[in-house]
Amino acid sequence: MTSLLKPGKTYEEIYANFKWDIPEQYNIADDVCDRWADGSGRIALAYENEAKETSIYTFDDVKKYANQLANTFQSWGFSKGDRVTLLLAQNPECAISHVACWKAGMVSGPCSVLFAGDAVAYRLNDCGAKAVITDLANFEKVNSLRSQCPKLEKIILVDGDADGALNFWNSIGNAPEVFENAKTAAEDIAWISYTSGTTGQPKGSVQPHRMMLGHMPSLEFIYDFFPQDADALWSPADWAWMAGLMDVLMPGWFHGCKVVATAMKGFDAEDAYRILAEHEVTLALLTPTMLKLMRQIEKPLSRHTLKLRSVLSGGEAVGAGLLEWAQDELNLAINEGFGQTECNVILGNNGNVFPIKPGSLGKPTPGSVVKIIDDSGTEVPCGQEGHIACQRPHPVMLLEYLNKPEATKEKFIGDMLITGDVGHMDEDGYFWFHGRGDDVITSSGYRIGPSEIEDALLKHEAIQMAAAIGIPDPVRTEIIKVFLILKEGVQGTQNLEDELKEFVRSRLAKHEVPRMIEFVESLPMTTTGKIMRRELRELEKQKLASTS
């Protein structure tokens, strides 16, 4: 297992010693599968089903099944560049199908099982998928879309049979087990991930084969110089999303490590400890939301012996409270990372290389040139807010947005890719997230990031979860409103509201104190555990419209 990253004693040394070396010809399948399928029985996947029964797949197994599926694709008349949508969660067949597509020079399309029919149909038609690989639970959803999706030729089920569908294992069972991987260019399309913006339909982020290499130095850095002996990776994050697919599954396989997959429905904090312990997981991706739920479990280490050595987190601010808890309770640093579908993990922390500043995104990962710029593309001084942007070329960047040349053009200012997030860089080179471009609250002339307010509230003993937004106000432009989930047994009273406002006032600036507080039972969230502040804003706008 050879790292792309050279170890060093300081961040500056590690960063300076790294140089990109991207070959012209490159196929991900060679690196994540074939080079480890040497007959040694090296474990690729430990899959735990809903009954908590574990099946083991070796790299030899993955290569055999992926070769059979690639041959089956060709027998159906599929060829290089054809698209296959994978409407699956953490199924072994999902991972095998990605590898098979890449082997054949075809394009895989991760798609969440949580999407309803219209969302699935849009993605199938936008990318022109010829096949969907899914399960019985989602068959009717896809089958009902057939008339709307003229390019869709086949539906393949991984776990059963239905009229109008093929069975995955029966289809590949008699196919040859040998396949010569397509000679793909590093710039050829490997997969298309859909990402929702603030306006319009989701955009298909076209991801080339080189993106695999583009991820690795960043993840080696954030996972504390992975791979190390017996490293095993797990995250509840769905493989339909970049976090699960390219921060856990494929980087693990790139280095020949065991990846743990689970059929966990929803996040269960106690069960997460069990999974980490039983499967001897050393590296995990856990969102701040997941970590907050795990923090509420009483004395977990009295029941579970962990081998965890590094945790990657992101999507929301981790905050001082979680960092302190992880250090005290789990004896490890949470290394926050930052990126997006179009340009993943370009900032990050490694607590063993430089001190973590609670709440910061860390520093540019080796090979990434990240700056804070203004609307004209000019870098702004330390401490000043601006766009968090990454300089091209960078092998982790998208090729383009599928069928959307204008959106592709708008993603860049000159040679800087605009992430859509705003923040600042401090005098020590740490980056700080203020919010999505549309999450930032503008109140009385101040631009306020919601994360800081949320982090302050989470330090209060009564609060389990917090989300802050700006709602329209004729005088102040916006006022701050927070939605709070209280801990069990706590009542939402006027006295508590007053106490919480004073609590924030005593920790942050006066202009960051919420003027409105609403106690709620739940918050809208993405499948990867991010609070959807946009939905909260929409609900507030609707309330205002109905009363005006």
Cβ–Cβ under 8 Å, residues 136 and 157: yes
In a domain, 523, yes or no: yes
User: What is the enclosing helix (H) or strand (E) of 190?
Assistant: strand 189-195
Which 3 state secondary structure label does DSSP give 471?
strand
**Which range has the worst mean pLDDT, 3-7, 14-18, 219-223, 274-278?**
3-7
- pLDDT-above-90 percentage for the chain: 77
pLDDT single digits (tens) 330-389: 999 899 999 999 999 999 999 999 999 988 999 999 999 999 999 999 999 999 999 999
Supply 520's token pair.
């709620």
**pLDDT surpassing 60 at residue 427:** yes
Q: Per the domain annotation, does 392 fall within a domain?
A: no
Distance of alpha carbon 84 from alpha carbon 132, whole angstroms = 6
What pLDDT is attached to residue 198? 43
284 near 333, Cβ under 8 Å? no
Task: Judge contact between 79 and 126, C-beta under 8 A.
Answer: no
Total residues belonging to the chain: 548
The three-class DSSP label of residue 420 is strand
Task: Give CA–CA dist 274/265, Å, rounded.
Answer: 15
Which pLDDT belongs to residue 60?
98
Span 51-68, average pLDDT: 97
How many C-beta atoms lie closer than 10 Å to residue 286's C-beta? 26
Give 125-167 as a 3 state SS string: HHHCCCEEEECHHHHHHHHCCHHHCCCCCEEEECCCCCCCCEE
How many structural domains compose the chain? 2
In angstroms, the CA 238 to CA 530 distance is: 13
Q: Which of 208, 233, 255 is the last residue of a domain?
A: 208
The predicted model gives 289-315 an average pLDDT of 91
Asked, for residue 391, whether it belongs to a domain, the answer is no
Asked if the structure places residue 75 within a domain, the reply is: yes
For residue 517, give the CATH number of its domain.
3.30.300.30
Using DSSP's 3-state secondary structure scheme, residue 86 falls into strand
- Helix pair angle (92-103, 59-75), 10° resolution: 60
Could you give the CA distance from residue 14 to residue 363 in angstroms, rounded to a whole number? Answer: 12
Main-chain dihedrals φ then ψ at residue 29, nearest 5 degrees: -60, -30
321 within some domain = no
Calculate mean pLDDT across residues 158-182: 97
Does 247 fall in a domain? Answer: no
The residues near 535 (Cβ < 8 Å, ≥ 6 apart) are: 524
pLDDT digits (tens, 9 = 90+) for 78-134: 999 999 999 999 999 999 999 999 999 999 999 988 887 888 999 999 999 999 999
- Taking alpha carbons only, the member of 11, 366, 35 closest to residue 216 is 366
- DSSP E strands: which ranges in 365-496? 370-373, 386-391, 400-401, 412-413, 416-425, 431-436, 441-443, 446-448, 463-473, 477-486
What does the mean pLDDT of the chain come to? 93
Rounded distance, CA 99 to CA 517, Å?
A: 48
Dihedral-angle region of residue 362 (phi above 0 means left; psi in -120 to 50 means alpha; beta otherwise): left
Of 178, 208, 238, which one is at a domain's C-terminal end?
208
pLDDT at 1 over 70: no
**Which of 172-186, 236-250, 435-449 is least confident?**
435-449
| End-to-end alpha carbon distance in the chain | 64
Whether 447 shows a pLDDT value over 70: the answer reads no
Residue 3: per-residue pLDDT: 85
User: What angle in degrees, to the nearest 10, is found between the helix axes of 494-505 and 450-458?
Assistant: 120
Q: How far apart are CA 264 and CA 256, in angstroms?
A: 24
Which positions ≥6 away from 339 have C-beta within 8 Å? 218, 242, 314, 345, 346, 347, 396, 419
Q: Is the pTM of this model over 0.95?
A: no
pLDDT score for 196: 64
Q: What pLDDT is attached to residue 446?
A: 67
Q: Over 90: is that where the pLDDT of 315 sits?
A: no
- Which of 208, 241, 266 is where one domain is finished? 208
Q: Provide the percentage of residues in the chain whose pLDDT is more than 70.
A: 97
Residue 325 exposed, middle or buried by CB count within 10 Å (0-12, 13-18, 19+):
middle
Q: Give the three-class secondary structure for 512.
A: helix
User: Residue 449 belongs to what domain range?
Assistant: 439-547
What pLDDT band is residue 155 in, cutting at 50, 70 and 90? very high
3 state SS of 327:
helix
Whether 542 is in a domain gets the answer yes
pLDDT, tens only, 458-490: 989 999 999 999 998 876 778 999 999 999 999
Q: Which whole-number Å values give the CA distances from 317 to 290, 370, 452, in the listed order? A: 12, 19, 8
Of the two residues 114 and 256, the one the predictor is more confident about is: 256
Q: For residue 115, what is the domain's CATH number?
A: 3.40.50.12780
Q: Report which listed range, 247-251, 261-265, 436-440, is most confident.
A: 247-251
Please give the backbone phi and psi of residue 511, each rounded to the nearest 5 degrees, phi first: -75, -5
Do 152 and 78 form a contact (C-beta atoms < 8 A)?
Answer: no
What is the rounded distance in angstroms from the CA atom of residue 391 to the CA atom of residue 348? 16
* 198 assigned to some structural domain: yes
Report the range of poorest mean pLDDT among 168-182, 288-302, 410-424. Answer: 288-302
Q: Which alpha helices (H) appear in 7-135, and where do they start and end?
A: 11-17, 28-32, 59-75, 92-103, 117-127
Q: What's the pLDDT score for residue 43?
A: 98
Q: Which residue has the higher pLDDT, 289 or 447?
A: 289
Res. 200: pLDDT tops 80:
no
